[in-house]
Structure 1
Amino acid sequence: MSDQGSSTSTSQTDGDFEGELDEEVESEEGVKEKGRDSPTPSLSNFSASLRAVIRIKQKYQAMKKRRQEMVLGLGAGALVGAPGRTSPKIFTFDGLTPSAFPTLSSIQQKKKKRRRKRVLFPTGGGRKAMPRQERSRATYCLYLLLAILFLQVYNAIENLDDHVLRYDLEGLDKMLRREVFGQQGAVDGLLSHLKDYLSTYVHNKPLVVSLHGPSGVGKSHLGRLLAGHFRSVVGETLVLQYYVLHHCPQEANALECARNLSSHISEMVERAEEEEKIPLFIFDEAEHMHKEILDELWQLVASKQSNEYLNTIYLFLSNLGHGHITKHMLHNSSSISMAMTASGRHSNLLKELTPILRNTLEKLHPLWTEADILPLSLLEKRHVMECFLDEMTREGFYPDHTNIERLAGEIDYYPGAEGREYSQTGCKQVVAKVNLL
């Protein structure tokens, strides 16, 4: 709208100027014609024509100047509050300052910026190659660290396996399953304790296991098998079988026996530390151990000794609490399913009898507060027959099933077991009866 208004005003000004100029020219032409019509032109007519030409020129210059001022005024008014022209009619350098013109340095900077923004790709026909990202060196260091950590963990696991293989627990498991009858649950529990403890050489406490059961259920037999196996894997000098009635029969010598036992255990522990092995101490017939001996063992087990005293295994065999075991099995014989496995029966027995046995044993001596208690169950008639079969095979007798059943029938059994025949003496009389054949 401003452009149209400015152009209209300019055209009007040009029209007025042309009209005035035409009037002046016509008047001058009239004067000339009058002079021509007159027969004799005079000096006054020539001077009048000259004055008219000068006046026309002056007026033309004044009108031209006025027109330029009007155009500049209209252009300045149109720029205020109105959009600029796309194609201006008049171009002048008025109002422009030297700072408005771009310098050479600014032009060079703009060219550099444009060059930096541009990404050049190969001109040949094909796929454009994207810029390649370089991997940080820290990534390779991280991969190396993870590889070293994996090797260390793998080596530690291999060392644990080697430590367990040194004691041949698989061979011990096979031997106990073959030689011990009717105590599969207790054997599994004992092997579980040994495997967990022997899987490493560093411990925060010694392993103390206490086996309890009635007479003839296989406690001493189990102790002899364990002693023989450990003698074959760690050596004769690192296994101790201590029979109280044999090593210290007199109660008057109990204090001296306790001191001798403590010094002997210290020597074995130091020797085992030098050889990096774990010694085994088996105490059979623990129900006959004197108080002085129990106190000395309690000091070795419960007190914070040096590291070599923590890498030891103590096994106690006794018939303490056998009354609770017998009573529990006779009263719950009907609830024991024939389809239940030996491990399942022993887990139930362990769950129900452990609190009762621990309460009874802790009243006798605080040594049993540091022990893991494993009860041994009563032997049934089929277990006694297995004992006869094994003993007759060892002595060279023909394993006649009729003869074995007759010998097993001569054993005394608990009455009122509701379909189960629990032996009162276990397999204790098997050897004597086989010797009579």
Structure 2
Amino acid sequence: MKSAHLCLWLLVLSTVTELVSAFDPFSTAWSSIISNFFYKGCEDKLVAFNSSGLEDSLQTKLFGQHIASKIILKTVSGFMNNDNPKKPLVLSLHGSSGTGKNLVSSLIAENLYKEGMNSDFVHIFMSDIHFPHVSQVDTYKTQLQQWIKGNVSSCAQSMFIFDEMDKMHPGLIDSIRPYLEHYDKLDGISYRKAIFIFLSNAEGSSLTETALKFRNAGRKREEMELKDVEKLLLLSAFNNDNSGLWHTSLIEKNLVDFFVPFLPLEYSHVIECTMAAMKAQGLQLDIYIADKLATDMVYFPESEPVFSKQGCKTIGSRLHFYMEDV
């Protein structure tokens, strides 16, 4: 009889969850809470994190980002090797489209979860999709809090990725501030092992100007350090009303661990991306094709066209077009 009652209860919960999901895109938080009540957490779906694996991924898949690679490797490795972090890891990635921000998010996930970005514990928010209407910001704040609380309850090492921060409504991201603080627990839940990653294109032009200044001064790109751009990113994110972090308490309370710069990519980096794409797709490496593809890309600024307008974003889809000409 008890078994029959339990089956009936599970059926009711499942039905309610499905009904709510049909009307509320954030209702998966309820599913996570229910799942946590009846099933195991995420321990068996995590990988044994190895910093050398992340290092290898960054070296072979991310190009032209010496500052970002160093920050990501050290901060993520340090965080994952700390059994008792004082707060969640919060990274804010800045740069133009195609420079590697989404790629880095994927590399972190691949070295943390067995299913990588397909893991149930990786949660991606797109501003245009999940937060489209400014008139509903208060509703979004409540939903976002419920989502994070529900999923961290299910897996302490959940990852939350906020893409297109430059399109997020001002003030919305402040709703998650309590979960980024140095609290041991909040309403009985610890958020200290969670990872929050913000992706923004807003500061791309500022990074381009800095890269051009280094180039015109005769200095190598690799000489640029975090200190040369971090303050610029912080101030720009805080003062730009299109950054998603405009006047946010996350910056005022120093809850963002690093503002990570992704520099505009040059011709040589496009070549490296193309060769890596060939290898990933099982194609024969051909420097002639890589050169042809890289040369045909659009470069900017007009006065000194040295940076790829699209970065490496379209290389995967362009590659077979050039391979057909061989």
TM over 0.5, yes or no? yes
For the 8 Å contact 1:283–1:315, the answer to whether it is kept is yes
Question: Secondary structure of the equivalent of 2:232?
Answer: helix
* 1:265 and 2:151 are equivalent in the alignment: no
- The structure 1 residue matched to 2:290, chosen from 404, 407, 411, is 404
Which of these residues, 87, 110, 114, is aligned with residue 205 of structure 1? 87
Q: Is the 8 A contact 2:183 2:190 kept in 1?
A: no
Rg bigger for which structure? 1
Q: How many aligned residue pairs are there? A: 263
Matches for 1:376-387 after TM superposition, within 5 Å: 376-387=262-273
- Paired amino acid for 1:385: I
Q: 1:362 aligns with which of 238, 242, 251?
A: 238
SS class of match (2:132): coil
* Whole-angstrom distance in 1 between the partners of 2:169 and 2:247: 11
Is it true that 1:228 corresponds to 2:110 in the alignment? yes
2:206 to 324, 335, 354: 324
The answer to whether the 8 A contact 2:86-2:182 is kept is: no
Q: What is the DSSP-based 3-state SS (H/G/I as helix, E as strand, rest coil) of the residue aligned with 2:233?
A: helix
Which 10-residue stretch deviates more, 208-217 or 229-238?
229-238
Deviations 1:394-422 (A, max 9, x none): 4454432222211111112235887x832
Distance 1:336 1:407 in 2: 28
> What are the Cα deviations for residues 91-135 of structure 1, in whole angstroms up to 9, with x where unaligned?
xxxxxxxxxxxxxxxxxxxxxxxxxxxxxxxxxxxxxxxxxxxxx
Structure 1 residues 228 and 289: alpha-carbon distance in aligned structure 2, compared to 1, 3 A threshold: farther
Q: TM-score, normalised to structure 2's length?
A: 0.71
2:36 equivalent in structure 1: none
Q: Distance in 2 between matches of 1:297 and 1:268?
A: 13
Within the candidate set 339, 352, 355, 2:228 is matched to 352
Structure-1 residue corresponding to 2:215: 333
2:70 alignment partner, SS class = helix
Q: Which amino acid aligns with 1:388?
A: T
Name the aligned partner's letter for residue 381 of structure 1: Y
Structure 1: gaps (5+ residues): 1-164
Equivalent residue for 1:424? 309
Contact 1:230 1:280 in 2 (8 A): no
Counterpart for residue 433 of structure 1? 318
SS of alignment partner, residue 190 of structure 2? helix
Give how far 1:233 is off. 8.0
Q: Deviations over 1:45-96 (max 9, x none)?
A: xxxxxxxxxxxxxxxxxxxxxxxxxxxxxxxxxxxxxxxxxxxxxxxxxxxx
Q: For residues 325 and 314 of structure 1, do their structure 2 counterparts lie closer, same or farther at Cα, with a shift above 3 Å needed?
A: same
Residue 217 of structure 1 corresponds to which residue in structure 2?
99
CA distance in 2, matches of 1:398, 1:258: 49
Q: CA deviation at 1:318?
A: 0.9
- For 1:351, the aligned partner's letter is K
Cα drift, residue 297 of structure 1 = 1.8
| C-alpha deviation, 1:335, in angstroms | 3.5
CA distance in 2, matches of 1:376, 1:395: 25
**Following superposition of structure 1 onto structure 2, how do residues 110-259 of structure 1 map, counting pairs within 5 Å?**
166-232=48-114, 236-259=119-142
Q: 1:303 to 1:320 in 2, by over 3 A?
A: farther
CA distance in structure 1 between the partners assigned to 2:260 and 2:294 by the alignment: 27
Matches within 5 A, 1:29-178: 166-178=48-60
RMSD: 2.8
- Give ranges in structure 2 of 5+ residues lacking alignment: 1-46, 240-245
More helix, by proportion: 1
Q: Deviations over 1:346-377 (max 9, x none)?
A: xx341121112211222313223421111111
SS in 2 for 1:308: coil
Question: Are positions 1:281 and 2:187 aligned together?
Answer: no
Conservation of the 8 A alpha-carbon contact between 2:88 and 2:191? yes
Q: Which amino acid aligns with 1:256?
A: T
Against the structure 1 CA distance between its residues 254 and 193, is the aligned structure 2 distance closer, same or farther, given a 3 Å change threshold? same
TM-score w.r.t. the length of structure 1 is 0.54
